[in-house]
Amino acid sequence: MTAPHDDAALAEIELFAIEVVNAAGKLVSSRFGGDMDVESKDGNGANLVTDVDRTSQSLIAEMVQERFPGHMVLGEEDAPKDEPDARDYIWCVDPIDGTTNFVNGHPVYAVSIGVLYRGEPVAAAVWTPWPADGGYEVMHARKGGGAWIGDRKLAVKKPSAKEPHRPKRGWLSTIPGSLRFMFKVDRAARGNLGEPRTTGSAVYEMAMVARGVLQYALTGAVFSWDLAAGILLVKEAGGIVLTPAGPADRVAGGWVMLDGFSPGFENTQETTKAIRGARNVALAGAPEVVWFVSRRLKRRRYGRVRRRMRRWFR
Ligand code: IPD
Ligand code: CA
Ligand code: CA
């Protein structure tokens, strides 16, 4: 086990994460709209991966391993057959989030790096296309240091003073396409969840919450690389991230804070597998709004969700 980090060590990691995500973002965006090899990971036309995802991940892994040989890179693509023992620092990487958008020429995607310390996100850098100078932006954070784009400090959208807990009409929120399969929505909340959108990139949504573009984001059940960076960006921008409580931690309201992955972190293969396998639904935004929304969504039992989805897609 390495020594717990201090702020200077974290600042160095944050700075390097920005450098790496910039390099990967440059590479990925240079291929946007061009030819690429596309495969369906599920073999059914869905869950796409391209040679650009793989090249982006290799670039990130090579840069990190050269600079921090004691750290681990856990990326979405090309999982090793034998997972190594977990290191204290894990760079949790989505080399392109929103691959289906990317393949279809829709410029809503992101490159995401969340650095975990014993399972908890402590540094983050997210690259997104953006209509600004250069055509992109990098959001970054380190634990306790705030979330930033350049020298602009980010803040989640401040709830309306009149009704601080309610999603506001005319303000954007994102919900998954599978919302009605996953949750029973309280009758009064139907049609009152803000102006809902579905973007196809969980990382982008979390980043837009941190940036104050969205009042909240509710994701589907997504992987650690979809959430690692976003959890930290949102928290450092003054928000919180909740997830439905598991059977082991029933609490009033049925939701708990999602602050990281693998609560019983050990430097073992099991921990690496647990982080790779973890899937969480995340609800992110200003605390008042997020708690309000969470109380209006009752999770459907998983077996029932699967049966309903099978019927629907038959
Ligand atoms: C996907 C996106 C999408 C989410 C999917 C993810 P990918 O990631 O985050 O928003 O709904 O579950 O798989 O495959 O584009 O990296
Ligand atoms: Ca993803
Ligand atoms: Ca991806």
Compute the distance from residue 293 Cα to the ligand 3 centre, in Å. Answer: 28
Cβ count near 251 (within 10 Å): 8
- 53 alpha carbon, closest ligand: 3
Which of 242, 228, 25 is CA-nearest to residue 123? 228
- What pLDDT does 198 receive? 96
- What pLDDT does 298 receive? 87
- Ligand 1 contact via 214 beta carbon (within 6 Å): no
With a threshold of 0.85, does the pTM exceed it?
A: yes
Best probe residue, ligand 1, of 222, 223, 227, 281 (max atoms within 8 Å of C-beta): 222
Statement to judge: residues 196 and 81 lie in one domain: no
Statement to judge: residues 138 and 15 lie in one domain: yes
Best probe residue, ligand 1, of 201, 223, 276 (max atoms within 8 Å of C-beta): 201
Compute the distance from residue 95 Cα to the ligand 2 centre, in Å. Answer: 8
Statement to judge: residues 139 and 179 lie in one domain: no
- Ligand 1 contact via 97 beta carbon (within 6 Å): yes
- What pLDDT does 263 receive? 81
Let me know if residue 162 belongs to a domain: no
Statement to judge: residues 213 and 264 lie in one domain: yes
Let me know if residue 111 belongs to a domain: yes
Of the candidates 93, 126, 153, which is a domain's last residue?
A: 153
Let me know if residue 165 belongs to a domain: no
Report CA-CA distances (Å) from 313 to 33, 296, 301, 307, 308: 30, 27, 19, 10, 9
- 54 alpha carbon, closest ligand: 3
Q: Provide the residue range defining the domain that includes 17.
A: 7-153
- What pLDDT does 1 receive? 43
Query: Could you identify the atom of ligand 1 that is nearest to the CA of residue 200?
Result: 10
Q: What is the DSSP string of 229-249?
A: HHHHHHHHTT-EEEEEPPGGG
Residue nearest to atom 15 of ligand 1 (CA): 98
- What pLDDT does 304 receive? 60
- Ligand 1 contact via 239 beta carbon (within 6 Å): no
Statement to judge: residues 302 and 222 lie in one domain: yes
Residue 139 sits at the vertex; the CA angle it makes with 240 and 94, to the nearest 5 degrees, is 85
Statement to judge: residues 131 and 178 lie in one domain: no
- What pLDDT does 178 receive? 86
- Ligand 1 contact via 222 beta carbon (within 6 Å): yes
- What pLDDT does 148 receive? 98
Let me know if residue 159 belongs to a domain: no
Please give the average pLDDT of every successive group of 10 residues along the chain, which has 314 residues: 76 98 98 97 92 98 98 95 96 98 98 98 98 95 97 94 89 92 85 92 98 97 97 98 75 81 92 95 97 90 62 61
Statement to judge: residues 31 and 136 lie in one domain: yes
Let me know if residue 122 belongs to a domain: yes
- What pLDDT does 308 receive? 64
Of the candidates 89, 119, 153, which is a domain's last residue?
A: 153
Compute the distance from residue 77 Cα to the ligand 2 centre, in Å. Answer: 10
Query: Could you identify the atom of ligand 1 that is nearest to the CA of residue 176?
Result: 11
User: Are the C-beta atoms of residues 109 and 102 closer than 8 Å to each other?
Assistant: yes
Statement to judge: residues 85 and 183 lie in one domain: no
Which of 212, 170, 164, 219 is CA-nearest to residue 194? 170
